[in-house]
Amino acid sequence: MTQNNTAKLELGDKQIELPVVVGSENEHAVDITRLRSETGYITLDSGFGNTGSCQSAITYIDGEKGILRYRGIPIEQLAQQSTFVETAQLLIYGELPTADQTRRFSDLLSQHQRLHERVYKHFANFPSESHPMAVLSSMINAVSCHHPDILEMEDEHTFDSAAARLISKVRTIAAGAFKTAHGEPITYPRTDLPYVRNFLHMMFSLPYDDYDPDDDVVNALRLFLILHADHEQNCSTSTVRMVASSGANLFASCAAGVCALWGPAHGGANMAVLKMLTEIHDQQIPYKDYMERVKQKEFRLMGFGHRVYKNFDPRAKILKQAADKILPKLGINDPLLDIAKGLEEVALKDDYFISRNLYPNVDFYSGIILRAIGVPINMFTVMFAVGRMPGWIAQWKEQVDSKGRIFRPRQIYTGANERDYVPVAQR
Ligand code: ACO
């Protein structure tokens, strides 16, 4: 970070100078830390579209150019060459790990993959129609109840152990929620399987039938998890950092992240996209008619638009190519993929979408990949959360290490002025 010039602000007869902060990719920010104390004014920024909440060295996005990099490495290279566990280490520790570091981290993941037997029992107490995101967020906090030692986070070693537990156990919880909802017995993890295969094993193996996934299925899930691993200061990550800023532990902060991810304007969009494509398919709605209703603002085209990307979301590009390759290899001919491509084609030629810079985001094609793997719709956002866990952990650590102040935005009050309490009989 450099600080090489200042911005001048005039408020009435007052003029103040504010420092300009420049990031390593030449992004500029006006530092308003002293604004209120010097002028009495605050800034108002609905949806925080112009507000930098922190300085971060984890993920870089250029929304105009469609660039996404984790710790400087382009997402396309990681998608092609890395594993999910290696990408997680890159995000959390800042560098690509050596073979030895990966072996040690993988050992930690294996060591912590099982849940405490009492935690397994919680699954049976949720109604079978429970939303798996509710189960996931509750179970993350439930897990922490059994490890009070790691909540203190006194040294690096405890952090490594807590991070490994969370990355490993979130997958065990996700699979447990899926099994419980489907009335199937829970499948325990295996120590001989790598991360993604082990996840698929817990999701789809049965006591009488071991699931041995095709390499293409494993690869599709690897890709999905890597592409979702971090995305700088989005709603759920900002939530994690907000909660962390109060001094809350890693598990509490990440459970809050799960809740924020749940919403349909964020991680829940992947479910909404599949529901939309299914509705168009089942009711045979012509693309143009559907788009007219979107343009009349009856509803939004789910999986389109992004606060930061004003060009193609690079993750959507990778997932679209992956869907084109993986589905035929698995012998799947999914009509929803054709509908998605049809909608995209119409949207990219339509002035409504062009003028608002609305392009497909990561959720537009991710559901089709998950469906090909055999994941049901109500698990889509849970899969996103499993992928995002390394990013949340990295962002939690960066927030805690920065020893920053508690996040506490201000407001402009617009309510009633002072008035007297009226006893109930006189109302
Ligand atoms: N379909 C139709 N119109 C849209 C869409 C959409 N998907 N997205 C934005 N617009 C329109 C808005 O109506 C608005 O139009 P206006 O200028 O005439 O009022 C304009 O584009 C700008 O929209 P905003 O809501 O201001 O954009 P914002 O940056 O706040 O929202 C968001 C971004 C939430 C992603 C939005 O594009 C959206 O709702 N998309 C659909 C849901 C979705 O796919 N979410 C997943 C995002 S990726 C993720 O979280 C992993």
For ligand 1, atom 36, name the residue with the nearest CA.
305
59: its two tokens: 């993920």
**Selection from 156, 236, 95 nearest residue 397 by Cα:** 156
- Name which of 87-96, 139-148, 195-204 the model is least confident about: 139-148
More confident residue, 332 or 252: 252
Local structure of residue 360 (DSSP, 8 states) = B
Pairing verdict, β 14-22 and 2-11: antiparallel
Mean local confidence (pLDDT), 260-271: 92
Mean local confidence (pLDDT), 233-261: 97
User: What pLDDT score does 156 carry?
Assistant: 84
CA–CA separation, 391 vs 412, rounded Å? Answer: 33
For ligand 1, atom 27, name the residue with the nearest CA.
307
**Cβ–Cβ under 8 Å, residues 315 and 75:** yes
**Cβ–Cβ under 8 Å, residues 322 and 306:** no
Local structure of residue 206 (DSSP, 8 states) = B
Q: Residue 259, exposed/middle/buried by CB under 10 A (0-12, 13-18, 19+)?
A: middle
Q: Which amino acid is at 15?
A: Q
Q: Which atom of ligand 1 is nearest to the CA of 273?
A: 44
User: What pLDDT score does 4 carry?
Assistant: 61
User: What pLDDT score does 1 carry?
Assistant: 55
Q: What is the pLDDT of residues 335-345, one digit of tens each?
A: 998 999 899 99
Q: Percent of the chain having pLDDT more than 90?
A: 83
Mean local confidence (pLDDT), 7-36: 94
Could you give the residue numbers annotated as active site? 306, 363
How remote is the CA of residue 303 from the centroid of ligand 1, in Å? 9
For ligand 1, atom 39, name the residue with the nearest CA.
265
How remote is the CA of residue 354 from the centroid of ligand 1, in Å? 13
Q: Percent of the chain having pLDDT more than 70?
A: 99
Mean local confidence (pLDDT), 372-383: 93
Sorting pLDDT into bands at 50, 70 and 90, what band is 408? very high
Q: 10 Å Cβ neighbour count for 339? A: 20
**Selection from 156, 376, 150, 382 nearest residue 257 by Cα:** 382
Average pLDDT, the chain: 93
Helices then strands, counting H and E runs in the chain, come out as 19, 6
Q: Which amino acid is at 366?
A: S
Q: What is the pLDDT of residues 227-237, one digit of tens each?
A: 999 999 999 99
Q: Which residues line the pocket of ligand 1, CB cutoff 6 A?
A: 47, 234, 265-267, 269, 294, 300-307, 356, 358, 361-363
For ligand 1, atom 29, name the residue with the nearest CA.
307
User: What pLDDT score does 2 carry?
Assistant: 56
User: What pLDDT score does 189 carry?
Assistant: 97
How remote is the CA of residue 351 from the centroid of ligand 1, in Å? 15
pLDDT at 198 over 80: yes
Sorting pLDDT into bands at 50, 70 and 90, what band is 325? confident
* Mutational pocket test of ligand 1: of 356, 363, 366, 382, the residue with most ligand atoms within 8 Å of the beta carbon: 356
pLDDT at 151 over 70: yes
For ligand 1, atom 13, name the residue with the nearest CA.
297
pLDDT at 220 over 80: yes
Q: What is the pLDDT of residues 48-86, one digit of tens each?
A: 999 999 999 999 999 999 999 999 999 999 999 999 999
More confident residue, 326 or 234: 234
How remote is the CA of residue 305 from the centroid of ligand 1, in Å? 5
Sorting pLDDT into bands at 50, 70 and 90, what band is 163? very high
